[in-house]
Amino acid sequence: MAAPPPSQKLAGQHVAVLLGGLSSEREVSLVSGAACADALERLGAKVSRVDAGRDLAQVLSRLKPDVCFNALHGRWGEDGCVQGVLETLGLPYTHCGVLASALAMDKAKAKAVLAAGGVIVPGGGLFNRFEVAARHVLPPPYVVKPNAEGSSVGVFLVFEGANAPPQEVIAPSWTFGEEVMVEPYIRGMELAVGVMDGKAMTVTEIVPSTGFYDYEAKYGEGGSQHIVPARIPPEVADKAKKLSEMAHAALGCRGVTRSDLRYDDVNDVLVLLEVNTQPGMTPTSLVPEQAAAGGVDFDALVLWITEDAYARGAGGIASSGETSS
């Protein structure tokens, strides 16, 4: 039987797209959510765009959607909190569940789980931010990052030869918690691997225009160049994909995730930095690019993510009269 036209695939389904939210990544989420909502409408769904605030439970109870597409990024929307609300409401939702979301967002706990699962991760650890400002807790160069933020928010590099320890962590504007993750800086290439249904997609090489893959490099126009597939030896690409699949499984992830890695091509060192349980779906995002490289366009990717969520929570979207498994 031929597949129905895209406009019929979600006909009759009511999808609530959760976007915006309360985190420092609100603006990115608004863009991700708008792109996904537009795709869902093209696929025939009835779409409710929900700017997720603290009244989310009341809003969703009134809307009664068939499934929620969680396009939130950062704390609250990506750390298990919203997932818990959706579990309580009994609503199917995209991406990872409560435990995997909470683990992946907490960098220290995620590293412990990943290391126990055989995934190669950087050294370093958690330190009080005032201790980090008082002395070099690691020999420079090293990276300082909040323990529970995404999109490189609050991340900065302490360069080799730096005389003073970083003072940014004790500035009045610091709102990212009392403990920070400090890791040795891995020279070399920034890599990313999307994992869809437990299987790695491909490897992207990221070349930031600023020399450091910070928030602006990720989301600013012209902030970075994405090279698909990455210019690395086949055996390194295979290892990057294997590590990403292992990380996805170790954290108990589902749906689509993205792992970020660093590869020191001089010393042949590959480490996995973190797993993103709700990868960006913006025009410059990595997972849609990787899906397209594998022949899956944006609408088909959004369709798969939505069907995957609905199949787990309600027996499958009956686009052909059959139940998904």
- Residues tagged active-site: 25, 151, 219, 258, 260, 274, 276, 280
Task: Name the phi and psi angles at 293, rounded to 5.
Answer: -65, -25
Residues 6 or more apart whose CB falls under 8 angstroms from that of 37 comprise 17, 19, 47, 49, 69, 71
Q: Name the β-bridge partners of 182.
A: 125, 144
Residue 238 is encoded by which pair of tokens?
């295979």
Residue 159's alpha-carbon distances to 47, 107, 120, 165, 290, in angstroms, are: 47, 22, 23, 10, 32
Whole-angstrom Cα distance, residue 215 to residue 116? 30
Residue 241 is encoded by which pair of tokens?
């994909």
Residue type, 230: A
- How many C-beta neighbours within 10 Å does residue 126 have? 16
Whole-angstrom Cα distance, residue 283 to residue 234? 28
Give the residue carrying structure tokens 């020191």: 264
